[in-house]
């Protein structure tokens, strides 16, 4: 028997506008509302609304035999309310079927577990509360930002009462083992780990429209055969992917919606196949082994590590300075300041600073509002400097000590003090250039 577990990540960041160094101390308007509205409404029309309608039709057609799950970030939910309330209503309609599970995550799609477990817990609590309010479910399965996972996180989640967690089925972790079984972490025997079958997932998410792929075109019959082959060799096929796969990454004219419309029926032709939510998978099957994951693993890029967000000095410096301000921000009692700071924890801000322009370059440019990673860094650090002033740091002094190299902020403040303009193209690029090949 093989159970197919569909999980879709739904997230849209709140992008920063091009916040100038000359606005520091004068304006606290950090986010590009116009751009965020445009992107959200565009993706809603191409993906969220048509795909939600399709899933609802499939549930009506197959009843409880067809099930899916979602993890929707809090910042996405907030934007649905502001810019596309019809999307939120369509998710509520799916929730009412009883065939859709909503998972827990950090409210701001953040990397908070890497830096501050108290902040992590606050964001998880806020997200779970929001899911309960909107969809009437209390999440028991956790999906960390971009499937980032290790032993320590498993132990922490077990202590919080979660029954299962999603993770990447990375080859360097599994070795000879299969992602088509459940596992536990060596530090947390009480929580079950569901691993993404990245080959079958990526066949849809990344390769579906690739005419150079030897399996193109991907038909439902061919794909169903691949899933059916797991019978006798595993319990579950975890198909985890971005929801934007449907209609945005893979456009409607590729046939992706027709593929998804026909897939459940084709899979259910096999008498041993079924669809289950993550909670149902965790309840139905026992772990077959123990994973020992000391280092963090994610589903990002070829490396499956943290280098997409923390692979260069710009990213690491920005992250350090952001979390160094946390306690001062909360101590201020300023609800607007606290909300601004939390929205800055969204992982996408650091992703935009990534300098991996090799095999993963096209992925990092998708939906990136900046021409270069350096532009993303400057915008973020300008905002952080204003946040520092809002929590009482002395104005006119460099508050952010970035690296052993001369701080970009020092250069900005010096130029501003001299009455000169500052632009990304004026920056000391020889200082930054080596970052393009740096790895951790």
| Contact (Cβ atoms closer than 8 angstroms) between residue 380 and residue 48 | no
| 241: three-class secondary structure by DSSP | strand
- Token look-up 């009412």 returns 96
Pairing, β 188-196 against β 182-185: antiparallel
| 282: three-class secondary structure by DSSP | helix
Q: How many residues does the chain have?
A: 440
Q: 155 CB contacts (<8 Å, ≥6 apart)?
A: 185, 187, 188
Query: In whole angstroms, how far apart are CA 59 and each of 65, 90, 100, 260?
Result: 8, 13, 9, 12
Whether the link from the prior residue into 217 is cis, omega within 30° of 0, is yes
Pairing, β 289-291 against β 236-242: unpaired
- Is 146 known to be catalytic? yes
CA 292/CA 306 separation, integer angstroms: 17
Structure tokens at 273: 């196949």
Give the rounded distance of the alpha carbon of 162 from its chain centre. 19
- Written as one string, the DSSP assignment of 146-165 is GG-B-HHHHHHHHHTT-SEE
CA 127/CA 113 separation, integer angstroms: 15
> Which residue among 119, 146, 168, 248 is the active-site one?
146
Active site residues: 146
């Amino acid at each position: 028997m093989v159970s197919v577990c569909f999980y879709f990540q739904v997230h849209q960041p709140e992008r920063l506008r091009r916040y100038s160094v000359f606005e520091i101390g004068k304006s606290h308007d950090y986010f590009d509302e116009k751009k965020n509205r445009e992107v959200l409404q565009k993706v809603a029309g191409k993906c969220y609304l048509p795909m939600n309608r399709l899933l609802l039709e499939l549930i009506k057609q197959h009843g409880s035999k067809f099930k899916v799950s979602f993890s929707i970030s809090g910042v996405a939910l907030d934007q649905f309310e502001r810019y596309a309330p019809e999307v939120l209503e369509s998710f509520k309609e799916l929730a009412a079927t009883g065939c859709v599970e909503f998972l827990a995550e950090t409210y701001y799609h953040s990397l908070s577990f890497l830096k501050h477990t108290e902040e992590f817990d606050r964001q998880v609590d806020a997200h779970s509360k929001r899911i309960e309010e909107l969809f009437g479910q209390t999440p028991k399965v956790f999906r960390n930002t971009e499937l980032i996972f290790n032993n320590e996180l498993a132990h922490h989640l077990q202590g919080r009462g979660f029954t299962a967690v999603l993770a990447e089925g990375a080859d360097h972790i599994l070795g000879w083992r299969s992602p088509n079984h459940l596992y536990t972490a060596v530090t947390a025997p009480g929580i079950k780990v569901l691993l993404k079958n990245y080959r079958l997932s990526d066949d849809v998410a990344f390769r579906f429209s690739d005419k150079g792929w030897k399996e193109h075109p991907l038909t439902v019959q061919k794909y169903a055969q691949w899933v059916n082959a797991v019978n006798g060799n595993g319990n579950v096929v975890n198909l985890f992917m971005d929801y934007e796969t449907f209609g945005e990454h893979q456009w409607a004219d590729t046939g992706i919606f027709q593929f998804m419309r026909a897939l459940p029926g084709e899979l259910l032709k096999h008498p041993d196949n079924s669809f289950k939510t993550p909670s149902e998978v965790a309840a139905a099957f026992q772990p077959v082994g123990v994973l020992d994951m000391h280092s963090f693993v994610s589903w990002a890029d070829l490396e499956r590590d943290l280098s997409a967000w923390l692979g260069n000095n710009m990213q690491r410096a920005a992250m350090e300075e952001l979390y160094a301000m946390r306690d001062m921000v909360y101590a201020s009692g300023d609800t607007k300041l606290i909300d601004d700071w939390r929205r800055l924890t969204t992982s996408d801000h650091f992703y935009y600073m990534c300098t991996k322009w090799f095999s993963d370059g096209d992925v990092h440019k998708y939906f990136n509002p900046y021409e270069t990673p350096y532009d993303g860094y400057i915008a973020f650090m300008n905002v952080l400097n204003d946040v520092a002033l809002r929590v009482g740091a002395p104005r006119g002094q460099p508050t952010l000590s970035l690296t052993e190299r001369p701080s970009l902020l020092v250069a900005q403040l010096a130029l501003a003090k001299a009455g000169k303009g500052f632009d990304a193209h004026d920056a000391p690029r020889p200082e930054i250039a080596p970052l393009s090949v740096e790895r951790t």
